Amino acid sequence: MSSIDALESWTSNLKLRSWIKQKIELCNPDKVHLCTGSKDEHQHLINTLISTKTIVALDPDLRPGSYLARSDPEDVARVEASTFICSESKDDAGPTNNWEDPRIMREKLSALFKGCMKGRTMYVIPYCMGPLDSKFSHIGIEITDSPYVVCSMRIMARVSTKVLDVLGDEGDFIAGTHSVGVPLKDGKADVSWPCNPKKRHIVHFPTTKSIWSYGSGYGGNALLGKKCFALRIASVMAKEQGWLAEHMLILGLTNPEGEKKYFAAAFPSACGKTNLAMMNATLDGWKVECVGDDIAWMHFQEDGKLYAINPENGFFGVAPGTSFTSNPNAMYSLRKNTIFTNVALTDDQDIWWEGMDGKRPDHLVDWLSQDWSPSLGSKAAHSNARFAAPANQCPIIDPNWENPKGVPIEGIIFGGRRAHNVPLVYESLDWQHGVFLGASISSETTAAAEGSVGKLRHDPFAMLPFCGYHMGDYFKHWFEIGKKQGLSLPKIFCVNWFRKDCKGDFLWPGFGENSRVLKWIFESVQGQDVKEKSPVGFIPRLNSLDVSGLNISEKHLKNLFEIDAQEWTHELGELKNFFTLFKDRLPQEISQELESLEKRLAN
Ligand code: TSX
Ligand code: MN
């Protein structure tokens, strides 16, 4: 069968057929593989990846169906400097995104992609973000020349020919074109992780809702369904269509009486968002269940309530620091069918990383494929090493995680890593104040790679690298929602697990004990009399935060909730300065909230 015949039996969608033909013309691959998402196909791709030494199989008894990939050391993370939002006008991308004129960028991309798949196979991946039967889901097609991307996408998104059935003759899709950017000259051998770091481009066209990615095979640069589609492009769609595409986990919380509420939460990186999403509560009778650990698509429905779906199908988590101590449910999730990238390999063909439980092995093969022993003093796993694991392998995956209607969100939680000033938990005075709190999220840096450690970095709504349009307009979109009639708006909270005492020790035990904070949030949402007003928002009333069984002194507790007006006035100045970045597109509600906070602090 010629490849054109194959294309016609693969999809009846004329737009899709013609788009694929255009890309074949442009990229000039040796072969075209129209993906089905089947098990056989997966095994075939795995065999290909083993033969090119891109991956190695892990011990099938210890880690069934699981593999370790090692990337090029130049291709280990998302590259924000190479990420572009190509809106028609530069102003619409805003001060926090890179912008290029879409016409100029299209010319650049045409030159880059011309013949870029020579000597390679072009894979065409049909995938769905969200459950196939949900009206809130959206279809994407990713073209890629990386079989590693195909195998990873099959974990992270719903890849299946069923997607093509849903797409039908007339359906629309988000087009993503990806290449590692290394055409193979005749007979030239491939490398194990082809990439082209000097020419990396991760480009979003919000007008046509299309994505082009060149030069990287890693994570969010290459698995286009996740950050590129489900956040950057979807945030534009959400703004246009009146919904929310957010960088939020979704969890269900059940109290001892069996009453259940769902929450969504946004945290900057290195705050333990995945740990919270699948936390084991320490409080008797309380239970957390996980709907998603990274992205929430949320819509108000006919009953006026906000419902969330998780558009993803898996977890793409940072491996170092993940352990049975910090996150047992993540460890169980990655027992099988998992692709690890840039972690270390043990002598018995299992994986290891810094921060894992138990004894550190005496010998490993590190992420650079070098023999490693503790005496080297280097890290055996890259600090951004990842696991891609199917979400349905999580022991506490929520029974409603694939409910096409979504789950009703009763509270939104913002967080950050703050050693000083910011209380353990507080609640916004109203929606507008809550949106201000989301816009004010900041976190202290933890890794030397981010510049100096402990520096405050603003990350509004944890969306700074993921908003596909001007962040000032994004804040406005959130404020507008609060002005609509007939909606039951979720309550908004802020948490900070990372406050320290004067000696530099963490004041709060964190992890499973965060269930105490979630309990307080739950009770506040229920309407219980648990809060009192402070200048920064509502904080727990005396004895309303359950600290039973915790060895925590009254003074300690006081420190966790102390609000120093002088320090907060300094915060306010810092915030005001940050918001000047958005110039005339800063909603006046932000200025109002800054003024109100100033007044409350002065009283
Ligand atoms: O994930 C974390 N969470 C959320 C858990 C549901 N971490 C790890 C952050 C790095 C990604 C935390 N670290 C948390 C937390 O709540 N809190 C802390 C700070 C902390 C670290 C160690 C201890 C306590 C607090 N150890 C002992 O108390 C023994
Ligand atoms: Mn994320």
**Ligand 1, atom nearest to 279 Cα:** 6
**Could you tell me if the CB of 524 is within 6 A of ligand 1?**
no
Q: What is the pLDDT of residue 405?
A: 98
Mean pLDDT score, 361-378: 98
Give 1's pLDDT tier (boundaries 50, 70, 90): very low
pLDDT in tens, 287-341: 999 999 999 999 999 999 999 999 999 999 999 999 999 999 999 999 999 999 9
Beta-strand pair 138-144/174-179: parallel
**Could you tell me if the CB of 514 is within 6 A of ligand 1?**
yes
Structure tokens at 538: 């509502």
**Ligand 1, atom nearest to 326 Cα:** 1
The C-alpha atoms of residue 491 and residue 411 are separated, in whole angstroms, by 5
**Residues surrounding ion ligand 2 at CB below 5 Å:** 294
**Residue labelled with tokens 């944890």:** 462
Cα 141 to ligand 2 centre (Å): 21
- The residue whose CA has the least distance to atom 9 of ligand 1 is 272
Q: What is the DSSP letter of 95?
A: T
- Check whether 404 has a pLDDT greater than 60: yes
Q: Look at residues 427, 420, 426 and name the one whose alpha carbon lies nearest to residue 442.
A: 420
Ligand nearest to C-alpha 219: 2
Counting ligand 1 atoms within 8 A of each CB, the residue from 511, 518, 550 with the most, and so the one to mutate, is 511
**Could you tell me if the CB of 512 is within 6 A of ligand 1?**
no
Cα 315 to ligand 2 centre (Å): 10
Sequence-distant (6+) residues with CB within 8 A of 537 are: 426, 427, 428, 429, 433, 437, 494
Cα 116 to ligand 2 centre (Å): 29
Counting ligand 1 atoms within 8 A of each CB, the residue from 249, 283, 497, 518 with the most, and so the one to mutate, is 497
Beta-strand pair 407-415/491-495: parallel
Calculate the average pLDDT of the chain: 97
Q: Which of 27, 271, 467, 494 is catalytic?
A: 271
User: Counting Cβ atoms within 10 Å, is residue 113 exposed (0-12), middle (13-18) or buried (19+)?
Assistant: buried
Cα 550 to ligand 1 centre (Å): 15
**Could you tell me if the CB of 383 is within 6 A of ligand 1?**
no
pLDDT in tens, 171-192: 999 999 999 999 999 878 899 9
**Could you tell me if the CB of 269 is within 6 A of ligand 1?**
no
**Could you tell me if the CB of 550 is within 6 A of ligand 1?**
no
**Could you tell me if the CB of 321 is within 6 A of ligand 1?**
yes
pLDDT in tens, 199-234: 999 999 999 999 999 999 999 999 999 999 999 999
Cα 229 to ligand 2 centre (Å): 13
Cα 320 to ligand 1 centre (Å): 14
Cα 312 to ligand 2 centre (Å): 12
Across the chain, which distance is largest between two alpha carbons, in Å? Answer: 79
- The residue whose CA has the least distance to atom 5 of ligand 1 is 511
**Could you tell me if the CB of 267 is within 6 A of ligand 1?**
no
Cα 271 to ligand 2 centre (Å): 11
The C-alpha atoms of residue 139 and residue 595 are separated, in whole angstroms, by 44
Q: What is the DSSP letter of 98?
A: B
Phi, psi torsion values for 230, nearest 5 degrees = -70, -20
The C-alpha atoms of residue 575 and residue 513 are separated, in whole angstroms, by 30
**Could you tell me if the CB of 322 is within 6 A of ligand 1?**
no
**Ligand 1, atom nearest to 446 Cα:** 10
Mean pLDDT score, 528-557: 96
Ligand nearest to C-alpha 496: 1
- % of the chain surpassing 70 pLDDT: 99
**Could you tell me if the CB of 183 is within 6 A of ligand 1?**
no
- The residue whose CA has the least distance to atom 1 of ligand 1 is 272
The C-alpha atoms of residue 385 and residue 150 are separated, in whole angstroms, by 19
**Could you tell me if the CB of 272 is within 6 A of ligand 1?**
yes
Q: What is the pLDDT of residue 452?
A: 86
- Check whether 448 has a pLDDT greater than 80: no
- The residue whose CA has the least distance to atom 26 of ligand 1 is 509
**Could you tell me if the CB of 275 is within 6 A of ligand 1?**
yes
**Could you tell me if the CB of 506 is within 6 A of ligand 1?**
yes
Q: What is the pLDDT of residue 186?
A: 85
The C-alpha atoms of residue 383 and residue 552 are separated, in whole angstroms, by 33
**Ligand 1, atom nearest to 318 Cα:** 11
Residue 228 among the catalytic residues? no
- Check whether 525 has a pLDDT greater than 50: yes
Sequence-distant (6+) residues with CB within 8 A of 541 are: 529, 530, 531, 532
**Ligand 1, atom nearest to 506 Cα:** 25
Mean pLDDT score, 13-28: 98
Structure tokens at 205: 């066209």
> Does residue 144 come out as left (phi exceeding 0), alpha (psi in the -120 to 50 range) or beta?
beta
pLDDT in tens, 23-43: 999 999 999 999 999 999 999
Cα 567 to ligand 2 centre (Å): 30
- The residue whose CA has the least distance to atom 2 of ligand 1 is 272
Cα 510 to ligand 1 centre (Å): 5
Give 2's pLDDT tier (boundaries 50, 70, 90): low
**Could you tell me if the CB of 324 is within 6 A of ligand 1?**
no
